[in-house]
Amino acid sequence: MLFASPEAAPAPSMTPLAEFLGASDPENFLTAFLVLYLLTNALSIIVFNLGFARKLPLLKNVVIYSLMLFGNIFITFLAFTLPIIESLFIAGLVLGIYKLQLRRHKKEEADPEEDRS
């Protein structure tokens, strides 16, 4: 029969960002949670705005953002052990580069004579 002692229980490995914020210390957990929650919300909003193709009416935006703010509470708990923040940052970076390239391409198509001179 296996007996588990409190010393034998492995601590969950945290992401480097959670470790940096001191989430492994129970006294700093709330502060780390709030910072991760704010980062998750900010990056989710950025990725949503960069990735969503069309503008929505105000009421639909309010519903989407309120659901996003509520759902990100659960995502933040996952961000302690999974690279959620890092993934959102990379997604925002890739979508931002894509939007800049798309804007530049559309500008070149609109003004073909300026590039030739």
Find tokens 């890739």 and name the residue: 94
Q: pTM (2 decimals)?
A: 0.77
Tell me whether residue 95 is in a domain. yes
Find tokens 């989407």 and name the residue: 64
What is the total residue count of the chain? 117
Tell me whether residue 63 is in a domain. yes
> From residue 73, how far is each of 11, 39, 51, 84, 112 by CA, in Å?
22, 11, 21, 12, 48
Domain span holding position 67: 16-109
Query: How far is residue 79's CA from residue 61's CA, in Å, rounded to a whole number?
Result: 25
Query: How far is residue 78's CA from residue 89's CA, in Å, rounded to a whole number?
Result: 16
Q: What is the pLDDT of residues 51-98, one digit of tens each?
A: 886 788 999 989 999 999 999 999 999 988 889 999 999 999 999 999
Tell me whether residue 88 is in a domain. yes
Domain count, the chain: 1
Task: Please tell me the predicted confidence (pLDDT) of residue 6.
Answer: 59
